[in-house]
Amino acid sequence: MAFSRIALLHQRFSRQQRQFQRPFTTKLDNSRFLHPNQSKLAQNLITIFTRQHFSPEDPELLRLTPELNTKVVETVLNGFKRWGLAYLFFNWASKQEGYRNDMYAYNAMASILSRARQNASLKALVGDVLSSRCLMSPGALGFFIRCLGNAGLVEEASFLFDRVREMGLCVPNAYTYNCLLEAISKSNSSSVDLVEAKLEEMRNCGFQFDKFTLTPVFQVYCSTGKADRAVSVFNEILSRGWLDEHISTILIVSFCKWGQVDKAFDLIEMLLERHIRLNYKTYCVLIHGFVKESRVDKALQLFEKMRRMGMKADIALYDVLIGGLCKHKDLEMALSLYLEIKRSGIPPDRGILGKLIRSFSEESELSRITEVIVEDIDTKSVMLLYKSLLEGFIRNDLLHDAYKFIQNLMGNHQSDGVSEIIKLLKDYNKAILPDSDSVSIVIDCLVKASKVDMAVTLLHDTVQNGLTPGLMMYNNIIEGMCKEKRLEESLKLLREMKDAGVEPSQFTLNCIYGCLAERCDVAGALDLLKKMRFYGFEPWIKHSTFLVKKLCENGRAVDACKYLDDVVGEGFLGHMVAYTAAIDGLIKNDGVDRGLELFRDICAKGHSPDVIAYNVLIKALCKAYRTTEADNLFNEMVSKGLKPSVATYNSMIDGWCKEGEIDRAMSCIARMYEDEKDPDVITYTSLIHGLCASGRPSEAISHWNEMKSKHYCPNRITFMALIQGLCKCGRSSEALVYFREMEEKEMEPDSAVYLSLVSSFLSSENISAGFGIFREMVHTGRFPVSLDKNYLLAVDATNKFVEDFRTSCYLPGLIKDGRFPIVAAVIRK
């Protein structure tokens, strides 16, 4: 059945072969093939459609409609200079009664849309072709597919090819397949599978592969990085004698992209042996590729071949080669090419000069470059030379040389010796004063090296030489002065800055603001805030917060609060970070109630406290055994949509534990998990202490093990909490195990831990174990001094050991060592 269908198709196409014998191109002037009347009709249609006020209801247009045919339509389409008019006419003609597009009309429209990159309209045209069921020759189909390929519409090209064949509108031949393969090869997303599937179809149809079949296949393999397959197809093309410059160039460029520069060069050698000559553009592309792959050696060899073939390099090619040589620090070869440019009469451009100057920074290298380029150098290149040299000095920690170079340029310190570069520039009358950027480089480095005085000297010398210092110079020096707490000098420089017509920036004033904060100079800070308001700047919150903290540390929490009010009075918004610092300061100086008072006052003024502000108050309340009030604040915070942090929960848990409300602490833990917050070491420490204090040591150990299973490392405080807690619960043996583990981790227990163990062992009448710990405490120097709160416990333990015959005999040795003088007094008593 299928064979009979194909036979019928061949018969139909053979009967219509005459009408398909004209060329497939739409670029010819088809009017010469028209009858004079048809040619006139085409011109009239073009005139009507190019009128400014075109109307499809134009009586003249309606009169011409019955005379339409496909040749006229094709001629009219190619007569328009704008694709939009052509598309308008094509759509109008397609709707006219008695007229039906043939494939040549479709191809004419496809060619116009493809060149105009009107992909949406081109896709719609594919649908029109299929809907019209227009018969077409293999060549006509191939032309349409090439139009789609040129527009990158590979999927549409493949779809059209398959549908036309399925619908019996065309029997593709080798040419049609070649057009489809070419379309696929032009796509940025070339499909290897699609190409190989179409090759298999061609093979099954009995079509022979020719050069135009293998070339697009070869391109697809190259563009998709299928190196082995690409080389295999290349060898096939070579064996059949079809190799040309185009195919060779594709593989050479691909080798460069794949990083296989040596293979690319070998292929070039082979082509030269076969007398296949690459063009100038190809050589340029290859040299670019070799340089990009850091194979400047091969690029130079190829450049030499070009010259032997009589090709003259342009400035762009020299630029690439010199750039590659500069990157590889081959100064002499780069200068050799530069001199070659000059000898050839090509004016060197600033780009090449810039590459030479920017790529080297050693003084000797730049001196050598200056010798060669000094005649061609302009003002901008001189400035670039200065900057490269200065950056080289700084990179090599030769800050003094950089300073001296700038001073030499300004005519100062002649006795110290003048740079050879400056001498060369002066000999050719090319020496100029440094610009502010060059001076700024040196000033910045001087300030960073804590050489602020040298930076100030350089700044003043710059002004004396008629240069206007930039804002960056002033900012760098003022920042350096403020870091060294040289407030008066920074204020003086600020005045000089204003006199020089340089307006301060937000950075400038905030540097000084930070210095005033360091001094706790409230009056000076407020005065500076007025300047900031004048310029429209904002004070940095870190400095305001620092000033508040310093005032609070000095016992001036009230002054800190007043300062924050004054800041608002100057028109600045109060920041919660600074207010939080004030709250914290009031709590530490005047108690938690004063902190709460400020907190409520802040809220009343419309400020929204953040989690940190709440944390400060909650922590203070919990420490003051006012955990119920802290809980109220906690709930208030949550009701405002704030998420409690781990620190918030830790304060609450610690507070409940200290008040013996262990169940409420456990509820906090549960809520913490619900809030997707993981407990940390601090959480576990508070919980372990609370559980032990509540007589639940087993649960404390359970949480200890849970903590370690989560890979949290217990700290010194955690160990001490567990050891002391177990001792209070009469589990001294277990406490001793953790005590030894603590020692293994090189954490030093304090006297309270020792005495807890001693007391626990004594309570269980294990006097020998208790005395062993006691002796360790004495030998490690942990026996508490008389002012220590644990001193009386130590005295009590000592008395018990004195009274017991099993331990009293060992005490004289400890007394003799003078470890704890109280023992002698006890014995005398």
Does residue 823 belong to any structural domain of this protein? yes
Tens digit of each residue's pLDDT (9 = 90 or more) over 517-533: 999 999 999 999 999 99
Does residue 437 belong to any structural domain of this protein? no
Which one, of 505, 445, 447, 528, lies nearest residue 481 by Cα? 447
pLDDT at 615: 93
Residues 699 and 681: their CA atoms lie apart, in Å, by 16
Q: pLDDT band at residue 414, thresholds of 50, 70 and 90?
A: low
pLDDT at 120: 93
Q: Which residue's entry shows tokens 């093309």?
A: 237
154, 185, 208 - which closes a domain: 208
Does residue 346 belong to any structural domain of this protein? no
The DSSP secondary-structure symbol of 810 reads T
Say if CB 292 and CB 270 are below 8 A apart: no
Terminal CA-to-CA distance of the chain, rounded, Å? 129
Evaluate if residue 23 carries a pLDDT over 80. Answer: no
pLDDT at 279: 84
Residues 603 and 134: their CA atoms lie apart, in Å, by 80
CATH (domain of 110): 1.25.40.10
Does residue 820 belong to any structural domain of this protein? yes
Say if CB 826 and CB 802 are below 8 A apart: yes
User: How is 100-169 classified by DSSP, letter by letter?
Assistant: ---HHHHHHHHHHHHHTT-HHHHHHHHHHHHHHT----HHHHHHHHHHHHHTT-HHHHHHHHHHHHHTTS
Residues 258 and 546: their CA atoms lie apart, in Å, by 58
Residues 655 and 722: their CA atoms lie apart, in Å, by 18
pLDDT at 810: 74
Tokens of 156: 């549409």
> CA neighbours within 13 Å on the CB side: how many for 734?
16
Average pLDDT over residues 109-124: 93
Q: Which residue's entry shows tokens 């794949």?
A: 258
Does residue 786 belong to any structural domain of this protein? yes
Q: pLDDT band at residue 818, thresholds of 50, 70 and 90?
A: low
Say if CB 145 and CB 164 are below 8 A apart: no
Does residue 661 belong to any structural domain of this protein? no
Say if CB 536 and CB 509 are below 8 A apart: no
* φ/ψ bin of 225: left (φ > 0), alpha (ψ from -120 to 50), beta (otherwise): left
Residues 511 and 534: their CA atoms lie apart, in Å, by 17
Structural domain including 755 reads 750-829
Tens digit of each residue's pLDDT (9 = 90 or more) over 259-273: 888 888 888 888 888
Q: Which helix (H) or strand (E) holds 87?
A: helix 83-94
> CA neighbours within 13 Å on the CB side: how many for 29?
4
Does residue 793 belong to any structural domain of this protein? yes
Q: How many domains does the chain have?
A: 2
Average pLDDT over residues 55-83: 88
Q: Which helix (H) or strand (E) holds 279?
A: none
Tens digit of each residue's pLDDT (9 = 90 or more) over 795-814: 888 888 888 888 887 777 66
178, 208, 238 - which closes a domain: 208
Residues 342 and 193: their CA atoms lie apart, in Å, by 53
Q: How many residues does the chain have?
A: 829
176, 192, 208 - which closes a domain: 208
Tens digit of each residue's pLDDT (9 = 90 or more) over 601-654: 888 888 888 999 999 999 999 999 999 999 999 999 999 999 999 999 999 999
Which one, of 178, 188, 180, 175, lies nearest residue 160 by Cα? 180
Residues 697 and 689: their CA atoms lie apart, in Å, by 9
Does residue 13 belong to any structural domain of this protein? yes
Q: Which helix (H) or strand (E) holds 691?
A: helix 681-693
